[in-house]
Structure 1
């Protein structure tokens, strides 16, 4: 039997079935996966809605399943394709599994498919990738339909695939209409078509990154066609990890509204298991590879579980005896952490991580790191989950305005001098429960906290004493009306309210160029290849310009710069065309040291910079911030996140790595539009070659510089001394200073 020095990593594993990702195109031909599917209540409800849609054209036939990674969406889609497609190898097994879980629903499916050789819906599994949506769909359809290519009409349709991929969205819908009529003919015998687009977010990400050249209107046409299909149903299922609005988060508000309208054509199903079901799945995913090790910890875990039941930690839909068994299977999770974990990821909106990603990943303070660094009978407690949350999600939480309880907790930990380990664990646990309290029934009552930190070392009396000490130090407060503890809110500044006031104060137009120049000073652009070849570092100064400041713009370069790059930020199409004409006319054709860029995607940039201006207003007009470190930390984090988003937006809009008008910006030099080239640095090097054709090649950083370094000055002084005779008095120093300077320079 392993002793107490045994690492948890040698005793505990995560079952592959719990973390295995489904690939719908490949796994459709794996019948064994159907028998392993866990048919939950959520899956039954979703399947019933799909069956209603297939049976009655008055119901929706276009759905999106939205939920976190690891929640079983792809697995469910795989099961549905096998169930609704009678020609699939695993169809009988899928029907048998459904019969066990829901006999009435299984009977409905049988009636819908029919008997006597009916083949049901033809399944088309497609895995999305970062490419145009139409290309993704045509590729997937062509691959799925290859087994039917022996049919003459099907062969003709497939031969049109390359043409359809490059045509407009209407052509694809017409092609689908022809396809349905072909698969429904007696020689093939299918009743309709089921198209499952897994990883639907990948084409959406591509569309968001190439908004100027992408159009997701095809999705609206597909959804409307699915609703119109009558006798031969066309069923569309898209699988997403988050809503359309999250994929369009970096686009301007007008485009976001357009995306929201398109998403409205689909009936969205939140594929999110309730916490009690997630706990069952979680317990089933953890495997104790050496059963002989469990007696050493079984008594501890059982005692913790019974204490949790007595302290109101028992979920309402789980019986006490089942809860104790689940806790034993879920070790090394402490029962309180086991209950809290589903709520934690729900609080994260379930689209940034999932429970199963937590089990498998090597993130700081995560499950795998705990297994590597701890031994039996240690358990993962709420304090460990707090550390995991702060280490991996703090920045995102600030950006989504959900970090206030965590910020206050961190401030108390940082300012709480000489905190004992027990006090630290209590503060972390209270802070996490305060944060979870908005989406769960979990509250930081004394009874619950006793169950959270109780151990052989920490008795109930010691815990109560530590709680009293923390109250005396004003690190936590006790709310008598509901008997809960909370972190003392050391912040008197309502940051969100102040930002709202800033938005009201800063209404109206502003100079986008001036704001970007002020808040994010542009970095100079180096002509890399030219600088390397000549040994002389040459760079171009960057200035932003918009219509408000264009007439006051100076075209003179700053000291040391070899040229100037002007970034034009228009607010609409008319201004963009005006800037393009401005770059062709005027003084630009005669200036070889000027490069002009006209950005065409500035709506989102304007929104981000406007928000940054509001944060700066709060910083400048809130004197209370001086004595409020919590609010200052929140402002700093928000500003940092905004600055990162602005820089990313500028990089995307300008696309300096490859200059082409297909990337959302147009580039000009000497009044001529630049053709597609490798990147801006390449262009700047060519310009420097033209401007400085006779540049000597001096690969010496002490000599070849614009401003003499301290080492260079010392070397000049030491080498110039031998030029003059040593004298007690040096009358020449004052009489012939110019000759001295000339000699020194020559040396």
Structure 2
């Protein structure tokens, strides 16, 4: 059942230009007091003496401003006035002179162009062929910038044409949606001069008896559109706003009720018979409760009440506020009234057949269905309200109706709409107040007193709107300089050239820097570590944009490498979004009451998140470097030229890759993310070092000696670098070696040859001098190679291995004869302490090199092309292996000492071999490239003699130590022949000794596990607390004293415990002890080997024959002789 007879004009919004030609558009137009008063003001301004001819009508969205403009234009044009009721014709002041309207609908574009197009449209329609028409057509076609003067000029010309043709007395320019022109002008404050409005207003005020009327229609005050401008510009806008007379467009509730009644046009015969009476009673009750306020026309509302059916009268004030807060005022109101939306009025009438009232709880369902998705973002009250309603049992119908009614009024949160008990019951249409009391008792709802009414949350919530206003006052006006604020919000995450990375394996990125326009020139000229630099000047105004563009296209910018300048449009409009974020941050930070109000706290967090998201959205649109939208207003400049093809994020990525492809066209193509990086991880660095070590040690083995079944990280590096690049191959003789690949193969695969040639050329061009490793690194890093930091050591290691006999490496100026993992690690970590020198292989001086290699024992080198480093490297290896004792002893021949000093100090291989060593061996400096054979032989012999002496020095020292030991024990023969006997004596005596030093001596004598040299070094360490290889010459004297004292102590103890010791069966021992009358005693234990025992038996027989005939005299003589011999063996050892 349809109870409505709706007029079509209410079913769509008004568009001035479209609807001007529709004769039916104003039929049934409702002339409200607001419409009548507004037109009277405009009409009064038409008097010749009046200067009030510039107007701005300001009101909410959908409040009927556009329809009024169309209504006023029709009256001014004196068109058919049949749409006016008879009474209205008499009540409206007559327009005495025809005024031709120009109708303009706003869009985000140029106001000047829109006015000129409107002027041209009228001229084309009514004055086709006139000179002014053709002239304006041509002007617009050129697309030149239309200045204020040009616009005013053509408005005047049109005015003259109309007046002179006597078609009308003047013109009226209606600009609907003027805010869109203002937004565009504010975003381009230097291009779109807002002073055009001022010029139009001044023109209108001076138009005299032939009026020019300007009517602008806005949704908010003129100043609101200028919030993003500077304070000076805002003051100028305020002055311009003052040129226009303001008409505030706002309908009181009684007039809104009138509009509702006219739009629905209820068929009074189709509604229930009791509805008229009930509607009047309900309306009077609502008015009595103050639901409509206290300045409304109560009689009008009472009269309209039946025509509002099925809307229950208490719903109107809430309905209006709902669409003011969440919709577009009457525009959404009419869609609710007349549209087919879910839970809307039309659907409700169909379901109820027009027999029930549409109440607040029905409106709750509509609000939830229509605005539910955005309600959490519009009101933090909604979450609390919706939770209460959702958890309540659906079978409790009356309770749910009460809750929805209270919740909806709470959602509006208006001081003028207090949900009192009487009002709630009336709105629901029930008298069951006890149910309301029961809900309160169960704490489902709460009563806040007469001033607050009922509410669905338990405490007085924080008023977030008030907090927001406090933030505005606390923070003050928006900052004039938004650049610093923008820098904090903008992402400086580098942009990666992805396509280049995928194709080459080289991860290259462009650093992003946001700068003040004044510092743009310095910023683009600075050094940077990234592969490229993107500099974005933060242009607040159009003047800043022009200044940045001048720098971007300058001659200096054309010379910059890998520097991109990105110029955005004027960014001053972002200030309002920055301020919004600042204010909500202040509220979150400064309002302490939020700690006790969960709903308010969550709402503030949501507001802050929404403000931040909105700011980021606009930042991305205005200055987002990788936005994938075509809306970007960024201008990209490279080498002084604007890159027109760079319009979105995808083209940006391609553009960056194009730059990298062109800049680093000789870069290796290594697809390994572990090593081919600017900064490899610690694990990758360790794996890289192990790979390089294996190149130095095992380049002659497959997989550099690694197990092909295992996959450590260095194996992946080997496969993707050495194997993929063809750097590790089987040579012609069948062995594996590090070598360069074929040129064709390299070009199709890893392209490493250009980088290797770079190293070779750098060193070859300076083969007579050392080249710092940092220079090699820098050359490889620079264009056109652009080798990543992680790969450079690998390529350098490959070069060193390939050119092992021609490359010398120095650390802190000292020659490194052999590259190992430890010194290569130091090279990687501190390349500034290393140098490289290249010695190209030459046939010159090969006779000298060959002779030295042969004589010095380096003949393991099996090559015909023996060169300088084949001699020098073994010499340094030899020196590095000498004990410290040999490096410091003065017991060497003076000539040998000179050679030793030269080999220790000289750092230049050429100077060493041809100058320093010949002088040290007293041959003299070798000059030229060819030498006499006798000189070569003499030099080689003398150098060999010095080398041999140094080589033999330490073994000689060890032999001397062993000889001193034998002498202390009065033993003959070699150490090896006496070692077992000494070990037995030491082992026998050790259990009886507790003194630590002597105990260690016994145990050392008993040790048979070490060879003679090792045993001697062990003994030297025991005696002097220092191994012999670190001795100085003075330590030899110390050893002699210490070994004598320790051996004497050993012998005394051995004599004391002679009877207790367990002697080996194959050893004969005897203790000799003598005592003189004065008490002096001498004793000694003598140990004899089997051979010595046999010799002793023979000697005993001879002595017996000699002494037996002498009796006691013979015994006395033998005792005296033994006393003397014992005395000699116990003298101190002074060697």
| TM-score bracket relative to the smaller structure | 0.7 to 0.9
Instruction: Judge which range, 676-685 or 169-178, deviates more.
Output: 676-685
Q: Is the 8 A contact 1:512 1:546 kept in 2?
A: no
Residues 679 and 409 (structure 1 numbering): CA distance in 2 closer, same or farther, change over 3 Å? closer
Query: Where in structure 2 are the equivalents of 1:216-227 lying within 5 Å?
Result: 216-227=194-205
- TM-score of the pair, normalised by structure 1: 0.73
Q: Which moved more, 1:303-312 or 1:34-43?
A: 303-312
Distance 1:103 1:507 in 2: 51
Which residue, out of 642, 647, 650, partners 1:674? 642
Structure 1 position 460, deviation (Å): 1.7
SS in 1 for 2:173: strand
Write the deviation string for residues 619-648 of structure 1: whole angstroms up to 9, x where unpaired: 456676455322322322222232233224
| Residue correspondence of structure 1 range 427-466 to structure 2 within 5 A | 427-434=403-410, 436=412, 438=414, 441-454=416-429, 460-466=432-438
Residues 242-321 of structure 1 mapped to structure 2, 5 A cutoff: 242-248=220-226, 250-251=228-229, 254-286=232-264, 294-295=271-272, 303=278, 306-307=281-282, 309-311=284-286, 312=288, 315=292, 316-319=296-299
Cα offset for 1:691? 1.3
- Residues 386 and 34 of structure 1: CA distance in aligned 2, closer, same or farther (over 3 Å): closer
Matches within 5 A, 1:329-728: 331=310, 333-346=311-324, 354-359=332-337, 380-383=358-361, 385=363, 406-408=379-381, 410-411=383-384, 413-414=386-387, 418-420=391-393, 425-434=401-410, 436=412, 438=414, 441-454=416-429, 460-469=432-441, 472=443, 475-480=445-450, 488-489=458-459, 491=461, 497=467, 500=470, 516=486, 519=489, 521=491, 540=510, 542-546=512-516, 563-569=532-538, 592-599=561-568, 601-606=570-575, 608-609=577-578, 611-613=580-582, 615-616=584-585, 619=588, 625-654=594-623, 667-670=636-639, 672-679=640-647, 681=649, 682-692=651-661
Distance change >3 Å, CA 149–CA 629, structure 1 → 2: same
For 1:266 and 1:508, locate their aligned partners in 2 and report how far apart those are by CA, in whole Å: 26
Which SS does the other structure have where 1:55 is aligned? coil
Say if 1:266 and 1:518 are closer, same or farther in 2 by CA, change over 3 A. Answer: closer
Contact residue 407 and residue 634 of structure 1 kept, 8 A: yes
2:218 is the alignment partner of 1:240 = yes
Residue 195 of structure 1: aligned partner: 173
Question: Aligned to 2:46, what secondary structure does the other structure show?
Answer: helix
TM-score, normalization by structure 2? 0.50
User: In the alignment, what sits opposite 1:181?
Assistant: 160
The whole-number CA distance in structure 2 between the counterparts of 1:156 and 1:258 is: 37
Contact 2:185 2:192 in 1 (8 A): yes
Query: C-alpha displacement at 1:131, in angstroms?
Result: 2.8
Task: Output the CA distance in 2 between the equivalents of 1:573 and 1:61.
Answer: 33
Shift of 1:356: 2.1
Q: Secondary structure at the match of 2:118?
A: helix
Measured after TM superposition, the shift of residue 617 of structure 1 is 5.3
Q: Distance in 1 between matches of 2:507 and 2:65?
A: 54
Q: Which position in structure 2 is the counterpart of 1:143?
A: 121
For residues 242 and 280 of structure 2, what CA distance do their matches in structure 1 show?
A: 45
3-state secondary structure, aligned to 2:213:
strand
- Equivalent-residue separation in structure 2 for 1:250 and 1:149 (angstroms): 42
| Mapped contact 1:568–1:579 kept (Cα < 8 A) | yes
Is this contact kept in 1: 2:63–2:331, CA < 8 A? no
What's the CA shift for 1:133?
0.8
Give the aligned CA root-mean-square deviation in angstroms.
5.2
1: CA distance, partners of 2:214 / 2:478: 44
TM-aligned CA distance change 1:309 to 1:105, over 3 Å: closer
* Offset, 1:236: 1.9
- Structure-1 separation of matches of 2:66 and 2:478: 47
Report deviation, 1:326.
2.0
In 2, Cα distance between the equivalents of 1:663 and 1:136?
Answer: 24
Residue 53 of structure 1 and its aligned partner are, at CA, apart by 0.6
Offset, 1:228: 0.6
Which residue of 2 is the match for residue 65 of structure 1? Answer: 57
- Deviations along 1:428-474, whole A, 9 cap, x unmatched? 533543565647x432111110022236xxx523542345236x45x
Residue of structure 1 equivalent to 2:742:
none
**What is the match of residue 49 of structure 1?**
41
For residues 589 and 140 of structure 1, do their structure 2 counterparts lie closer, same or farther at Cα, with a shift above 3 Å needed? closer
Measured in 2, the distance between the counterparts of 1:214 and 1:35 equals: 39
CA deviation after TM superposition for structure 1 residue 57, in Å: 3.0
Alignment map for 1:81-96 (pairs within 5 Å): 81-86=73-78, 88=79, 90-91=80-81, 93=82
Deviations 1:374-409 (A, max 9, x none): 88656543345456667777999999xxx6xx4245
Moved more, 496-505 or 120-129: 496-505
Deviation at 1:159, TM superposition (A): 2.4
SS at 2:92's partner residue? helix
- Cα offset, 1:222, TM superposition: 0.8
- Are 1:327 and 2:297 matched, yes or no? no
- Aligned positions, number: 675
What is the rounded CA distance, in whole Å, between the counterparts of 2:370 and 2:677 in structure 1? 45
Structure number with higher relative contact order (C-alpha < 8 Å, ≥ 6 residues apart): 1
Shift of 1:277: 1.8
Give the structure 2 partner of residue 80 of structure 1: 72
- What's the offset of the Cα at 1:688? 1.1
Query: 2:1083 corresponds to which residue?
Result: none
**In structure 2, distance between residues paired with 1:522 and 1:368:** 54
- SS of the equivalent of 2:153 reads helix
Q: Which has the larger radius of gyration?
A: 2
In 2, the alpha carbon distance for the partners of 1:537 and 1:233 equals: 70
| Bigger Cα displacement from structure 2, 351-360 vs 522-531 | 522-531
Preserved contact between residue 58 and residue 217 of structure 2 (Cα < 8 Å): yes
Alignment partners' CA distance in 2, 1:239 and 1:588: 47
**Residue 599 of structure 1 contacts residue 664 of structure 1 at CA under 8 Å; is this kept in 2?**
yes
Aligned match of 2:29 = 37
**Closer/same/farther in 2, CA of residues 483 and 498 from structure 1, 3 Å limit:** closer
Task: Provide the C-alpha distance between the structure 2 equivalents of 1:413 and 1:254, rounded to a whole number of angstroms.
Answer: 47
How far 1:419 moved relative to its partner?
3.2
Residue 212 of structure 1, CA deviation: 4.2
1:7 matched residue in structure 2: none
Once residues 479 and 321 of structure 2 are traced to their aligned partners in structure 1, the CA distance between those partners, rounded to angstroms, is 43
Q: Where does 1:5-44 land on structure 2 (aligned, <5 Å)?
A: 15-44=7-36
Output the CA distance in 1 between the equivalents of 2:281 and 2:339: 30
Match of 1:710 in 2: none
For residue 60 of structure 1, give the secondary structure of its aligned residue in structure 2.
Answer: coil
Aligned partners of 1:49, 1:510: CA distance in 2, in Å? 39
Distance 1:199 1:317, change over 3 A: same
Whether the 8 Å CA contact 2:406–2:419 is kept in 1: the answer is: yes
Q: Secondary structure at the match of 1:479?
A: coil
How has the CA–CA distance of structure 1 residues 503 and 241 changed in structure 2, closer, same or farther, with 3 Å as cutoff?
closer
CA distance in 2: counterparts of 1:495 and 1:39, whole angstroms: 36
Aligned to 1:170: 149
Q: What's the CA shift string for 1:704-738, capped at 9, x where partnerless? A: x999xxxxxxxxxxxxxxxxxxxxxx996999957
C-alpha distance in 2, partners of 1:738/1:72?
Answer: 74
Q: CA contact under 8 A between 1:413 and 1:427: conserved in structure 2?
A: no
